[in-house]
Amino acid sequence: MINGKKILLCVTGGIAVYKAAALTSKLTQAGAVVKVILSESAAKFVSPLTFQALSKNEVYTDTFDEKNPKVIAHIDLADWADLILVAPATANTIAKIANGLADNMITTTLLAATAPVWIAPAMNVHMYDHPAVKKNIETLYNYGYRFIEPGEGYLACGYVGKGRLEEPEKIVSLAETFFQNRTGVLAGKTVIVTAGPTREKIDPVRFISNHSTGKMGYAIAEEAFKAGARVILVSGPVSIDAPPGVELVKVESAKEMHKEVFSHFEDSDAVIKTAAVADYRPKIQYEYKVKKQDGDALIELERTKDILFELGQKKTKQILVGFAAETDHIDEYAKRKLEKKNADMIVANNVSQEGAGFGTETNIVTIYKKDGFSESLPLMSKQKVAEKIINEVSLLIKDMSEYEDRECNC
Ligand code: CTP
């Protein structure tokens, strides 16, 4: 998939520059055409000649060193690339791009770029945790830049923590997935996945929630992205990282999840609702910490909005997939949910079975579709279940597109 693809690698100055040399080599060996821009500080760690030898292309360092009088180098490079990688990306370069600065060959080229840009940060763990860096990353994320999260481990500054540039092999494999996605079964489609629990506030220190870890939803988001979809992952609080490439929208309560899902719903092709949304929330949510009293306490609860049900009422072309976590009467309850919520598919599991349900790496599910089709899958990893669900969803989207085409021709 990567063969012949044009990758512009922007290397900024940190000790991880040596890994960028390996990345250049691996991308080139995989068949990509790689051009490299080095920042002035990156060139202090590894010389441009190394990158020239590995990429077999000229290396750019200076905005004003115009090698070809017929073109303006930074515009030409920006237009040339199918994909731009900034690896390693220092805190300084991230800050500059977030603020629209164009003070060197890399930042100037990035401002002119329309190709997707993936940023792979590498820095000291405290720098990565600094609120200014976090804010800049968020700004860039909202501009559409995507991030390859740094790994955890021994850092060159002596600390152990998050901040290591992701391994070159992993970055190559992400780039391969990126190009594969353009031809995947869900290419051009937008899929919303909801995942994790919701938290319903009692007061500033207490909430009502459930045991969902988000694993199933995150696996589905990853598989949908691999199949080529634009993936919007609306997630309650979980402790796992979002798969690279998906657009993560963090929410806390059922109300926030409702708002985010509906704000993206119209343009989407499918909504997969793995989230364990709270059915009730405290009727009164206190702004101050409630002090304990002698004796028992009562919390009055009110219903939250049933997001899937409302989506079912409003859907036009969208495929709706719901999840049903049950302990008994699985078949009956799943079929009832399918109908009541006007869903196209319900994925049901018996959470009391070993190997199924919250927190496990595996799941045992039965898929129910509107046309009466049902299929019970054996114990599988959540990733395999996710792959199967995405296959089924892509078939349903295909049927829907064919139906819409037929309607149009009538
Ligand atoms: N769901 C939702 N909004 C809610 C509650 C649930 O969108 N407020 C979605 C879940 O994401 C899931 C499906 O609906 O896809 C689960 O259906 P639901 O009827 O809520 O299941 P349970 O919570 O198990 O309900 P019940 O107690 O009726 O079995």
Out of 216, 277, 307, 332, mutate this one to test ligand 1's pocket (max ligand atoms within 8 Å of CB): namely 277
Fold of 6-181: Rossmann fold (3.40.50)
Q: What are phi and psi of 56, to 5 degrees?
A: 60, 30
In short, whether 325's Cβ falls inside 6 Å of ligand 1 is yes
Tokens of 160: 């152990």
**Closest residue by CA, ligand 1 atom 8:** 306
Nearest to 275 by CA among 220, 227, 223: 220
Out of 209, 255, 306, 365, mutate this one to test ligand 1's pocket (max ligand atoms within 8 Å of CB): namely 306
Which residue carries 């993206």 as its tokens?
A: 264
**Per-10-residue mean pLDDT, the chain, length 410:** 94 96 98 97 97 97 91 95 97 98 98 95 95 96 91 84 92 90 87 98 97 95 93 97 89 98 97 98 97 95 98 97 93 95 95 82 92 92 95 94 76
In short, whether 254's Cβ falls inside 6 Å of ligand 1 is yes
Which residue carries 């402790």 as its tokens?
A: 239
Calculate how far, in angstroms, residue 2's C-alpha sits from the geometric centre of ligand 1: 41
Question: What does the DSSP 8-state code read for residue 241?
Answer: P
pLDDT of residue 410: 62
Task: Determine the atom of ligand 1 nearest the C-alpha atom of 254.
Answer: 8
157 is catalytic: yes
Tokens of 162: 């998050």
In short, whether 330's Cβ falls inside 6 Å of ligand 1 is no
In short, whether 324's Cβ falls inside 6 Å of ligand 1 is yes
Nearest to 321 by CA among 232, 193, 188, 234: 193
In short, whether 337's Cβ falls inside 6 Å of ligand 1 is yes
Task: Determine the atom of ligand 1 nearest the C-alpha atom of 346.
Answer: 15
**∠ at Cα 273 (272, 278), nearest 5°?**
175
In short, whether 302's Cβ falls inside 6 Å of ligand 1 is no
**Where are the domains positioned within the chain?**
6-181, 190-409
Out of 273, 333, 358, 389, mutate this one to test ligand 1's pocket (max ligand atoms within 8 Å of CB): namely 273
Alpha helices (runs of H) in 182-323, residue ranges in sequence order:
215-226, 254-265, 307-314
pLDDT of residue 115: 93
Given a contact cutoff of 8 angstroms between Cβ atoms, the answer to whether 243 and 228 are in contact is no
Torsion of CA 307, 141, 386, 343, to 10 degrees: 20
Fold of 190-409: Rossmann fold (3.40.50)
Check for a shared fold between 6-181 and 190-409. yes
pLDDT of residue 38: 98
